[in-house]
Structure 1
Amino acid sequence: MPNASKSDERVGWELIWRHGNGHPRYGSYAAPDPAVMEWAATIAAGGFVLDLGCGVGRHVIHLGGCGFRMAGIDISPSGIRLTQEACADSRISFEGQVSDMTTVHWPDRTFDAVLSTSTIHHQKREEIIRTLGQVRRVLKPGGLLLVDFPCTDGLDYQLLRERVAAGQIAEIEPSTFVDQRPDLDEMDDDFLPHHYCDEDDLRDLLRLFQIIGLRKAMRKSHDGAGMRGKWVASVRRPLAD
């Protein structure tokens, strides 16, 4: 993509997804996140589910295979195209939209459930709030949301704070980091904002919803230097809306 900067989110994700759908963790046929597998059991059979930031369809394929009707948003046209191709191969019905997360083009009260894994935190906090407002709007009353955010208690956050202090990356607002160096590997997503949450911040972000479950999913780093992890939140749009 000549004359285009990777700091443009759409360009960055195109550089990542143009490599196809075979990524070992995030490819179309990669194993789903265990939290998604557990959460799927709480959705009504045959429900309509939106994957917000669907990439190349990893969770669309899994949930569609479970019998749910599937829709997805991704800012990358290649991501939506590859998801459509994978769904066609698996005979899964899929409604795809190329869009950023702050604009959801479906009508009010459309979906039984929405998920966003490893995605919604790639925004400034104000944009996260706008996105969650859109999610609430398109969920039916009582509809479910599964979402995750990087955790401030982990090794990753500590290392980011050290890199900010060393002048290597920018903290563009509290606990939101961007690596603006031009020589990043094109498969690296550090050019995007990464917003990290403590529990108070997360509960405030989710104030439009009823929290069903909130937990830290932590794991030991490969080098044994500390724990890495994220918050996993299961919430619903209140029935009284």
Structure 2
Amino acid sequence: MMDSSNDDRAGWETLFRSGVFPPRYQTLAAPNDSVVEWADTLPAGAAVLDVGCGVGRHVVYLGGRGFKMAGMDLSPRGVSISQQVCAERRLDFDGRVADMTAQPWADKTFDAALSTSTICHHRRADILTALGEVRRVLKPGGLFLVDFLHKDTLAYQQAREQAAAGELTEVEPDTFVDRRPQPDLIDDAFLPHHFCDEAEARDLLRGFEIMRLWADLPGRTPDGGPGKRGYWVAWARKPLAE
């Protein structure tokens, strides 16, 4: 398997330093609805890991609700911003610069974990490795919230068209990367984008018990046409027997 971690690390660092996402605004932006609903199911004071925490949007939200937060990201800039805002708010946060495919925590450390809009920015083999690492660091019965890019979107249609035109590279089935010298930062296409259907989403989570799986497809047209981008969102659990 090709080692893409250095490229991905540089990509995330470029994104957070580019100004495309104003870091402090992004840190304090409202959490995903799915995260709010999921957090309501967690036990008070749970130890929670944010896999690919970025600049800490969900770290700050969940920490503010009293959860003991840890997070990791490939971007030193992202982790630094997360740490700064958590310190200002006196929130407990263990933030580390690390690759989600080799997480720096011991087995069975966390009560819960989440990863939003992040795991999908990897090749399939790395997604499976990262999910295996999440399972490893969760306690038996630990809860997991994750999302994957959905195929029934304009983003997927455009990726296929741009790959055919040579603007994107399909590095493996349904995984696209912008390899041009000046990739489009606005659409973060220089990061891998792996799209999947329901069957693949379930297959990727085969090491977990899937509690819920649904399509989050905002922006669909009145006649049912696809919106720009959507996700498969899953609530899963590490088996109690592990």
CA distance in 2, matches of 1:33, 1:195: 20
**Number of the residue aligned with 1:110:** 109
Of all paired residues, the percent bearing the same amino acid is: 56
1:238 matched to 2:236: no
- Per the alignment, do residues 38 and 159 of structure 1 end up closer, same or farther by CA in structure 2, a change over 3 Å counting? same
- Whether the 8 Å contact between 1:16 and 1:187 is mirrored in structure 2 is no
**Number of the residue aligned with 1:80:** 79
Aligned length: 234
After the TM superposition, which of the residue ranges 164-173 and 211-220 deviates more from structure 2? 164-173
Alignment of 1:39-78 (within 5 A): 39-78=38-77
Q: Of Structure 1 and Structure 2, which has the larger fraction of its residues in helix? A: 2
TM-superposed CA distance for 1:184, in Å, is: 2.1
Amino acid at match of 2:40: A
- Equivalent residue of 1:86, what SS? helix
- Equivalent residue of 1:8, what SS? helix
After the TM superposition, which of the residue ranges 200-209 and 178-187 deviates more from structure 2? 178-187
Unaligned runs of 5+ in 2: 1-5
TM-superposed CA distance for 1:164, in Å, is: 1.4
CA distance in 1, matches of 2:209, 2:203: 12
1:125 matched to 2:124: yes
TM-superposed CA distance for 1:21, in Å, is: 11
**Number of the residue aligned with 1:3:** none
1:179 matched to 2:178: yes
- Whether the 8 Å contact between 2:20 and 2:186 is mirrored in structure 1 is no
TM-superposed CA distance for 1:185, in Å, is: 4.2
- Per the alignment, do residues 215 and 32 of structure 1 end up closer, same or farther by CA in structure 2, a change over 3 Å counting? same
With structure 1 as the length reference, what TM-score do the two structures score?
0.91
- Equivalent residue of 1:207, what SS? coil
- Equivalent residue of 2:171, what SS? strand
- Whether the 8 Å contact between 2:145 and 2:235 is mirrored in structure 1 is yes
After the TM superposition, which of the residue ranges 197-206 and 157-166 deviates more from structure 2? 157-166
CA distance in 2, matches of 1:85, 1:171: 37
Amino acid at match of 1:240: A
- Cα deviation 1:139-177 (Å, max 9, x = unaligned): 001101100011011221111111112222111111101
CA distance in 2, matches of 1:21, 1:41: 31
**Number of the residue aligned with 2:33:** 34
- Equivalent residue of 1:143, what SS? strand
TM-superposed CA distance for 1:95, in Å, is: 0.5
CA distance in 2, matches of 1:73, 1:84: 11
1:160 matched to 2:137: no
TM-superposed CA distance for 1:20, in Å, is: 7.1
- Per the alignment, do residues 75 and 24 of structure 1 end up closer, same or farther by CA in structure 2, a change over 3 Å counting? closer
With structure 2 as the length reference, what TM-score do the two structures score?
0.91
**Number of the residue aligned with 1:201:** 200
Unaligned runs of 5+ in 1: 1-6
- Whether the 8 Å contact between 2:24 and 2:81 is mirrored in structure 1 is no
CA distance in 2, matches of 1:35, 1:24: 22
- Equivalent residue of 1:18, what SS? helix
Runs of 4+ in 1 over 6 A off after TM superposition: none
- Cα deviation 1:56-86 (Å, max 9, x = unaligned): 1000000000000000000011111110000
- Cα deviation 1:98-128 (Å, max 9, x = unaligned): 0111011111100011000000011110011
**Number of the residue aligned with 1:89:** 88
CA distance in 2, matches of 1:166, 1:127: 27
**Number of the residue aligned with 2:3:** none
- Equivalent residue of 1:44, what SS? coil
